[in-house]
């Protein structure tokens, strides 16, 4: 999990996923299945990816009453995914229920999927958070608060931007995972993201894993783009 580059498979269907993965051959990736793909293909896409030995982050961002989230997680634990997430805004009881659901649902002999909480989406700016959510603290304080709440609920870590990762490591703990989307090379389009950072910045901030989507999946040469990101993230000089 630590030091992973997670590729967001934000595709409309399996065929697009196959097309994307084909040029990677037997390379084992850490991939993210989000709402777009899961709502169309369901568990079968997860089984397929796991069969090919890819690690899977099932990013469904659960956010509902504790009972509903707990029951949903009980089912998701049976899919054999490595990582799942919830929205920290759902509250501590909801996060505890999520974790309990995962523990109960994980088949005997299998490892419970890790569970992380989305703090403030990387598409949210401080100004937007203040104005739209009526949260009148700094964005960093809000993210740190959610991270502490997630930690107190027993979760394994959070989704945040790379800009908040080092303070979370300092104040919540170095073992608490920070998974950061909003990753762009300096030459990339920012698109709908607000709190972006380069892979090098993420590495310097001690981020546990970065998530990269369109810059790789929509690149002309996705394999080349993947390796460019990986190299920047791992700090390996050619
Ligand atoms: O939970 C996530 O994965 C997530 C949280 C967040 O705050 N921001 C965020 O961008 N994501 C996901 O990370 C991916 C980022 O994709 P790109 O912006 O294309 O690199 C998308 O699949 C988002 O759904």
- Residues touching ligand 1 (Cβ under 6 Å) are 8, 10, 34, 59, 61, 85, 118, 121-122, 159, 181-182, 191, 193, 211-215
Question: What integer pLDDT is reported at residue 238 of this predicted model?
Answer: 44
Q: Whose alpha carbon is nearest atom 16 of ligand 1?
A: 213
92 tagged catalytic: no
Tens of pLDDT, residue by residue over 159-188, are 999 999 999 999 999 999 999 999 999 999
Tens of pLDDT, residue by residue over 82-101, are 999 999 999 999 999 999 99
Distance CA(232)–CA(228), nearest Å, equals: 6
The 3-state secondary structure of the chain reads CCCEEEEECCCCCHHHHHHHHHHHCCCCCEEEECHHHHHHHCHHHHHHHHHCCCEEEEEEEECCCHHHHHHHHHHHHHHCCCEEEEEHHHCHHHHHHHHHHHHHHCCCCCCCCEEEEECCCCCCCHHHHHHHHCCCCCHHHHHHHHHHHHHHCCCCEEECCHHHHHHHHHHHCCCCEEEECCECCCCCCCCCCCCCECHHHHHHCCCCEEEECHHHHCCCCHHHHHHHHHHHHHCCCC
Average pLDDT in the 15-24 region?
98
Question: What integer pLDDT is reported at residue 237 of this predicted model?
Answer: 53
What is the CATH number that goes with domain 4-234? Answer: 3.20.20.70
Tens of pLDDT, residue by residue over 195-237, are 999 999 999 999 999 999 999 999 999 999 999 999 999 996 5
Question: What integer pLDDT is reported at residue 1 of this predicted model?
Answer: 83
Q: What rounded mean pLDDT belongs to the chain? A: 97
Q: Which atom of ligand 1 is nearest to the CA of 124?
A: 7
Q: Which atom of ligand 1 is nearest to the CA of 214?
A: 19
Q: Where do the domains of the chain lie?
A: 4-234
């Amino acid at each position: 999990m630590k030091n992973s580059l997670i590729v967001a498979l934000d595709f409309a269907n399996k065929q697009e996923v196959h097309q994307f993965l084909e040029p990677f051959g037997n390379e084992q990736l850490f991939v993210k299945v989000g709402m777009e793909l899961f709502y169309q293909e369901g568990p079968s896409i997860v089984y397929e990816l796991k069969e090919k030995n890819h690690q899977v982050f099932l990013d469904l961002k659960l956010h509902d009453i504790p009972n509903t989230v707990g029951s949903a997680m009980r089912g998701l634990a049976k899919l054999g995914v490595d990582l799942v997430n919830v929205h920290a805004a759902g509250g501590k009881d909801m996060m505890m229920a999520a974790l309990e659901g995962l523990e109960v649902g994980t088949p005997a002999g299998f490892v419970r999927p890790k569970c992380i909480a989305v703090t403030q989406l990387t598409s949210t700016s401080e100004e937007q958070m203040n104005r739209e959510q009526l949260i009148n603290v700094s964005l960093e304080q809000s993210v740190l608060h959610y991270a502490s709440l997630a930690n107190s609920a027993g979760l394994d870590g959070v989704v945040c931007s790379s800009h908040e990762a080092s303070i979370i490591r300092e104040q919540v703990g170095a073992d608490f995972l920070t998974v950061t989307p909003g990753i762009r090379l300096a030459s990339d389009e920012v698109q709908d993201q607000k709190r972006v950072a380069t892979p090098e910045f993420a590495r310097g901030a001690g981020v546990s894993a970065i998530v990269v989507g369109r810059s790789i999946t929509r690149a002309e040469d996705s394999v080349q783009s993947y390796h460019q990101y990986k190299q920047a993230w791992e700090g390996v000089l050619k």
